[in-house]
Structure 1
């Protein structure tokens, strides 16, 4: 008998594979604008500052949408939410492909950001319904690699498409890919039921699903560990947003590579993040299994990775290395910063009641992606001030990101204690009176 409340590995991993492809399309959508920056700016006569504004516009509604849909995901089936996202992404690519001016691209990128904002938290919440608590780290790591795979394909394919058919054809192809995914998902997707099991969590659960109680969100969101995680997320997404938007232009204009060679270097930067993310996630999980505290295996590991990223960015700017060696440093720095984004939801799941995991992960994602609206615009101003062919403008932007990464890492090393926060928050949950619980639900 097929019990829907039991773990079904084949179905669970099939859903993971579909979500993996969704995240691949998601990150292709994010990076494509930066990959076609040079021909787009030339054809539409956009200044670096204007282009930076358009690139940052993707994140104007990103965080708000992530929070709103994150809370709705407890009430609406995640398969329908993900279907709506995939279909809307496909539709919004076509006006960009036909755009004759900056306003159309700006409007579509704002709407696309709103549609893509909830993708990561809703995807995580969807997979939580298929995997038991102790098996959730790997599927989340896998869908994160979908992002890396999307960036890798972008570095290899987008320059070729632009060269043979023009920059607009990239958006037509992305529209077709989003539409195809949506059709397949509508046919095969099911909603997981594992989260409905009436079972008590074990002491090794990452995100306990049987915990019936809630806490006021202000209690969770103002916890020192939560605030440290939000800052680490902000710093990690700052680096990600900066790289997605300006790295191709930096390689081509700042370092002098040809478009095809710049695409290959971009692919190298992206592919280097994949083994680093998987390896660090595996190391964290292994440390926990061997008895290390989550403070050491998760909080300190993430914080030290972010610190190393900031120091590498400083070395890139300060050492005057040849272009190829700068790209190597850039690849290492860009690979280490997102570790906080990967391990952050795991630490949130450790800390908060199960019913509120999805919402808090959405807030975590939203807080981080605020940086995505700021970083491209800041970099655009610096590039314009120095000139688009001067590497110093881009590297001044990297230096700003390095300072933020170092501050965030020091805050994490000082105040990020997941287990301590878990005990404090759960103790408050257990001690809460019925009246308090009612107020918490209203929160």
Structure 2
């Protein structure tokens, strides 16, 4: 029986919907600190540099916990790992609502980051147990849009809650939402059974002894995917951490209106991500090589994003034009969150997939940790906050373009799949004949 014959669409999409809900919570948890940045920094007396440090601290243990849970995910069912995450996130919201010092807030963000770090690789690993290879782009893209929906809700709802009840109430509500999802997942969450990818028949007959994980991670294609993830996380982290401040203090929009523009930027990413992911899957299902359908499509999106990011530094634009351009430029790299994991799953052996996906998120999260702090340093230097933020956003341009060009040169899924599937010591044909 093949993996595709075990495919159960109804159950697979039910799990996708539930995990999309968890992604929504995950990104609300991440972005809330950026949306409440202005009243929170005033209340706690934070400088721009301190705020950048606190925002980036979310990712300090992100990578470590991601790798550790990724290694565990090949032995423990993802169903239980995801439940543990949902409960931990809910519990950790309350200390953030009660904190009165910079140190306490920083500690809360570090612990929450450690709890949320394994979310994406564990979720993707769980989905890949429900969907065969050529159907994986779209469900992962949809889950990623749970993140987009979370960011959209943050822009529309959090400013209103803050205006009426104060910034702390947002953390209380996030804790309650996390509890509701955890209860639903406890009763409805299930484990998929498509643990074996559909490999070419020739490689399926090879000996099962694989190369060690360190050699898999050193493969040029795998390294390129890791760099693409780093660039995408860098872009996303800058966006949800500093965009509200850029809109409010840099461009001068009132708080609620800034929240609406923030929502517009976020919602623009949804059709971009879903559309490009669908196009990639459409091409794959019609026999186009993954080198074209995934690698070249992703590289083109990142190069276009880089060009857009640097435009405000060289062209005089109105505030509205800057927001609209930023919406497109920030939306294009998000397709990496759907296509990047699919490329990894296509290349690495099944028994190393969980660890490889964890490493993808761990490396990417380093970009998430560095970019808010760099932006904070640029803003702290003084001068125009809008110009400083635009310079910070432009760092994404160099990063995503370099990542795209390296991928065009070195990322070859078909070649790497064959190399990584080859056993370390193939038996000698004459010995086999004897």
TM-score class, shorter: over 0.9
Q: TM-score, normalised by structure 2?
A: 0.93
Query: Is 1:282 the equivalent of 2:305?
Result: no
Work out whether residues 141 and 337 of structure 2, in 8 Å CA contact, stay in contact via their aligned partners in 1. Answer: no
Q: CA deviation at 1:433?
A: 6.0
Distance in 2, matches of 1:258 and 1:316, equals 22
Distance in 2, matches of 1:284 and 1:132, equals 15
Where in structure 1 are there 5+ consecutive unaligned residues? 435-443
Query: Is 1:245 the equivalent of 2:241?
Result: yes
Query: Is 1:409 the equivalent of 2:404?
Result: yes
Map 1:184-223 to 2 at 5 A: 184-195=184-195, 201=198, 203=200, 212-223=208-219
* Worse overlay, 225-234 or 164-173: 225-234
Map 1:78-89 to 2 at 5 A: 78-89=78-89
How many residues are paired up? 423
Distance in 1, matches of 2:114 and 2:226, equals 20
Work out whether residues 316 and 330 of structure 1, in 8 Å CA contact, stay in contact via their aligned partners in 2. Answer: no
Work out whether residues 305 and 329 of structure 2, in 8 Å CA contact, stay in contact via their aligned partners in 1. Answer: yes
List per-residue Cα deviations over 1:32-57 (Å, max 9, x = no partner).
00000000001111000000000000
Distance in 1, matches of 2:361 and 2:51, equals 24
Distance in 2, matches of 1:355 and 1:420, equals 19
Runs in 1 of length 4+ with deviation above 3 angstroms?
210-213, 430-434
Work out whether residues 309 and 393 of structure 2, in 8 Å CA contact, stay in contact via their aligned partners in 1. Answer: yes
CA spacing shift, 1:100–1:312, aligned 2, 3 Å? same
Which residue does 2:126 correspond to in 1?
A: 126
Which residue does 1:61 correspond to in 2?
A: 61
Which residue does 1:386 correspond to in 2?
A: 382
CA spacing shift, 1:422–1:262, aligned 2, 3 Å? same
List per-residue Cα deviations over 1:193-240 (Å, max 9, x = no partner).
332x7xx83549xx99x9954321122111111111111111111000
Which residue does 2:162 correspond to in 1?
A: 162
List per-residue Cα deviations over 1:155-190 (Å, max 9, x = no partner).
110011001101000000000000111111112222
Where in structure 2 are there 5+ consecutive unaligned residues? 429-434
Distance in 2, matches of 1:313 and 1:106, equals 30
Which residue does 1:9 correspond to in 2?
A: 9
- Aligned residue for 2:423, secondary structure, equals helix
2:336 to 336, 340, 343: 340
Which residue does 1:375 correspond to in 2?
A: 371
Which residue does 1:21 correspond to in 2?
A: 21
Query: Is 1:331 the equivalent of 2:352?
Result: no
Q: CA deviation at 1:334?
A: 0.3
Map 1:161-180 to 2 at 5 A: 161-180=161-180
CA spacing shift, 1:159–1:432, aligned 2, 3 Å? farther
Q: CA deviation at 1:93?
A: 0.7
Distance in 2, matches of 1:286 and 1:160, equals 40
Q: CA deviation at 1:138?
A: 2.2
Which residue does 2:308 correspond to in 1?
A: 312
Query: Is 1:148 the equivalent of 2:153?
Result: no
Query: Is 1:359 the equivalent of 2:349?
Result: no
CA RMSD of aligned residues (A): 2.1
Work out whether residues 34 and 244 of structure 1, in 8 Å CA contact, stay in contact via their aligned partners in 2. Answer: yes
- Aligned residue for 1:214, secondary structure, equals coil
Q: CA deviation at 1:392?
A: 1.0
2:264 to 240, 264, 268: 268
Distance in 1, matches of 2:223 and 2:314, equals 31
Q: CA deviation at 1:386?
A: 2.3
Distance in 2, matches of 1:415 and 1:7, equals 33
List per-residue Cα deviations over 1:364-391 (Å, max 9, x = no partner).
111111111100000001111125x621
